[in-house]
Amino acid sequence: NAGVTQTPKFRVLKTGQSMTLLCAQDMNHEYMYWYRQDPGMGLRLIHYSVGEGTTAKGEVPDGYNVSRLKKQNFLLGLESAAPSQTSVYFCASTDPGTVNQPQHFGDGTRLSIL
């Protein structure tokens, strides 16, 4: 059982380049999330999705776009990368059900923008 898988694990981009980070989960979870973590900071929510075909903005959405075309996948896009987007990106998923359920995280994508 792979859980939450993030692709790629590392990437270096030049300012202005675009890229897409892929998150895949095999737990049939409804909710998926993208976070970024910067040094000395907690995880901050970028965008999230409460189901296939739906997305919503989190705390720090500027400069990012997302898509949830399939239930198991959640894509995070950077259209024009900026050095301020250098960070570690984490994807998570959960199924809210009838009681609180914890989010399950992938191992992260380390992204450097030069």
CB 105 within 8 A of CB 92: yes
Give the x/- contact pattern for other proteins in 12-51, rule: CB under 8 A: -------------------x-x------xxxxxx--x-x-
When the beta carbons of 85 and 94 are compared against other proteins, the nearer one is 94
Burial degree of 72 (CB within 10 A; 0-12, 13-18, 19+): middle
When the beta carbons of 14 and 98 are compared against other proteins, the nearer one is 98
CB 11 within 8 A of CB 20: no
Residues that bind other proteins (CB under 8 A): 4, 31, 33, 40-45, 48, 50, 56, 58, 90, 92, 96, 100, 102-108
